[in-house]
Amino acid sequence: MSQQQPKTKFVLAEATLDEINKQLKINTFVTIVLVLMLLLNTAQFIKGYSVLYGVLIAVMAFFLFIMVKSRTLLTMQKQRLSK
């Protein structure tokens, strides 16, 4: 029986250039999904002025802010490794 080592968490300080590129691709995909969800929630909010959609817009905007900040950190680390 061969024993597999458990997958470790992504640690930015120890990441290789390939791992950072993979995380940037995932980050881009999630950002696009968040923007689409934000647009759909905004359209529903304008249509019905629902408090629920207003709260969803605020939550999506917060997550989008977090994703942009994480992308900035990934890009900075990628530039540091590329030198």
- pLDDT by residue for the chain (83 residues), tens only, comes to 455 666 677 777 788 888 889 999 999 999 999 999 889 888 888 888 888 888 888 998 999 999 999 999 999 988 988 87
Handedness of CA 81, 23, 35, 57 (dihedral sign): negative
User: Does 24 fall in a domain?
Assistant: yes
Number of domains in the chain: 1
Q: What is the span of the domain harbouring residue 62?
A: 16-82
* Position 8 in a domain: no
Instruction: Tell me if 68 is assigned to some domain.
Output: yes
Residues 64, 27: Cα–Cα separation, whole Å: 10
Q: What's the pTM?
A: 0.74
CA distance 61 to 41: 11
Predicted confidence at residue 16, as pLDDT, reads 85
| Domain membership flag for residue 2 | no
- Among 45, 30, 43, CA closest to 22: 30
Joined together, the tokens standing for residue 49 give 């002025």
